[in-house]
Amino acid sequence: MKRSMLNMLALSACTVAFNAHAQKFDGLAATPQMGWNSWNTFACDINEKLIRDTADAMVKNGLKDAGYEYVNIDDCWHGKRDEKGVIQADPERFPSGMKALADYVHGKGLKIGIYSDAGATTCGGHPGSRGHEYQDAQTYAAWGIDYIKYDWCDTKGLNPVGAYTTMRDAIRAAGRPMLFSMCEWGDSKPWEWAKDVGHSWRTTGDIYLCFDCEFSEASYSRWGVLQILDKQAGLRVHSGPGHWNDMDMLEVGRGLTEDEDRSHFAAWAMLASPLILGNDVRKMSDATKRILTNKEVIAINQDKLGIQAWRFMQAGRLEYWAKPLDKGEWAVMILNRSEQAMPVSYQWTNHRVNDDMSKRVLDTTKTVYTWTDAWTGKTGDTSKKLESKLAPHGAIVLRLKARS
């Protein structure tokens, strides 16, 4: 055998052996991850005090108890790389360093996330991880980081499968379980290839603070709540425990109407999206707090089956969504897309709701289900017509349980 052939064989054996170990960390995000991220409210205006105060607030105001676990620092935390290429935190904004900050957040019983980018520079123009993937994953692991959001700016000519797989392998090699949150905006349909690469992937470009609009930037658009919801069509087959369709960070508590906030939160919960808060949790209105800590809605999101809801019916501007839950239970959301209040009159027994994907049927023609309204606690059952009125952009969310 020629030497070059031998070399090739040795190389491929080596690749196989290496890849056999290079898996994403299992057991992270068995249900959609919950936490907070600095970007929507603070963009680049971040520092260590903000992160510490946010962690403190999450403990005090009940967000931690409600299940929000990660405190995630987005873009712009970076300083320079040192002479060995090791990334440093910005010494002015994070003078105590990331290790100390991670220790502080861990001390509160929370976890900490960081942000990088597959290109040479991040979207904010800071050092990205291209060519430094293994080094950066090691640095983050040494700091005690638990979560990496990995963006897609400055990646002209890069293959997304290769770039994200490289970072996954780097995280595995660094040896610390870090949730890998992929943020390539859905451009290369990551739901088709990333199940074994990331724990979640963004399905769209960035969310915009509106319920129903498209906001055009020079070369891309940002999307309102309804626009992001519509872009999930057909994606539910790709989502499940450990690998979620990420609909982007929440805009709840940032200026939408209270009904819109409720609908936005309910939709993200129904579609089993990660719930990453984007508001300033140090000062929240009571209404925002009630929405974000609603146990029933969170339980629907965190249901252990991890089945994403689908739209089973549309009647004018009203939409009907269903989500199969553990133990034969169901969640149903009725959403009013219009800017007018709309009456709802739904005869359960006229509809047999069949989920081809999970092979589950919500059969109110044969079984009577009792329902509980997740927002109001009101109860009823499916033997009677559901009569209600939805506010403009409002949504009703019901949890159904077969009557025994």
148 forms part of the interface with ligand GAL (CB under 6 A):
no
Closest CA to 207 of 270, 255, 148: 255
Examine the residue annotation and report whether 103 is marked as an active-site residue of this protein. Answer: no
Single-letter residue type at 256: L
* Per-residue interface string for the shown chain with ligand GAL, residues 370-389, x marking contact by CB under 6 A: --------------------
Distance CA 68, CA 250 (A): 13
- Contacting range for ligand GAL; rule: CB under 6 A; set: 90-98, 120-128, 231-239, 389-397: 120-128
Tell me, rounded to whole angstroms, the distance of Cα 133 from its chain centroid: 23
Q: At closest approach, how far in Å is the CB of 363 from ligand GAL?
A: 41
Nearer to ligand GAL, 29 or 123 (CB): 123
Catalytic residue among 151, 169, 261, 280: 151
Of the ranges 88-96, 98-106, 121-129, 171-179, which one interacts with ligand GAL (CB under 6 A)? 121-129
Among the residue ranges 52-60, 77-85, 118-126, 327-335, the one whose residues contact ligand GAL (CB under 6 A): 118-126
- Find out whether 275 and 301 touch, Cβ atoms under 8 Å: yes
The helix, strand and coil proportions of the chain, stated in percent and rounded to the nearest 5, come to: 30, 25, 45
**Greatest CA separation found in the chain?**
79
Residue 151 in the binding site for ligand GAL (CB under 6 A): yes
Q: Does 250 bind ligand GAL (CB under 6 A)?
A: no
Closer residue to ligand GAL, CB minimum distance, 63 or 148: 148
Shortest separation between residue 399's beta carbon and ligand GAL, angstroms:
31
* 401 three-state secondary structure: strand
Nearest to 364 by CA among 377, 347, 376, 380: 347
Choice from 97, 124, 380, 392 touching ligand GAL (CB under 6 A): 124
Is the CB of residue 149 less than 8 Å from the CB of residue 117?
Answer: no
Are 392 and 340 in contact by the 8 Å Cβ rule? The answer is yes
Active site residue 206: yes
Q: Which is nearer to ligand GAL, 235 or 318 (CB)?
A: 235
Q: With respect to ligand GAL, which residue has the nearer C-beta, 42 or 371?
A: 42
Shortest approach of ligand GAL to residue 220 CB, angstroms? 9
Torsions phi, psi for 302 (to 5 deg): -90, 10
Residues 6+ apart with CB under 8 A from 365: 349, 352
Q: Residue 359 burial (CB < 10 Å; 0-12/13-18/19+)?
A: exposed
Work out which of 206, 251, 260, 261 binds ligand GAL, going by CB under 6 A. 206
- CB closer to ligand GAL out of 123 and 335: 123
Helix (H) or strand (E) holding 80: strand 78-81
Q: Could you say which of 74, 146, 206, 246 is catalytic? A: 206
Q: Least CB distance from residue 364 to ligand GAL, whole Å? A: 40
Burial (Cβ within 10 Å: 0-12, 13-18, ≥19) of residue 7: exposed
Please tell me the count of residues contacting ligand GAL according to CB under 6 A. 10
CA separation, residue 270 to residues 19, 251, 324 (Å): 35, 16, 10
Q: Which of 46, 123, 395, 398 binds ligand GAL (CB under 6 A)?
A: 123
Q: Which residues, numbered 66-105, are part of the site for ligand GAL (CB under 6 A)?
A: 74-75
Amino acid at 223: W
* Binding region for ligand GAL (CB under 6 A) out of 80-88, 122-130, 158-166, 354-362: 122-130
Contact, 152 vs 184, CB < 8 A? yes
Q: Which residues are catalytic?
A: 151, 206
Contact residues toward ligand GAL (CB under 6 A) are: 39, 74-75, 122-124, 151, 153, 183, 206
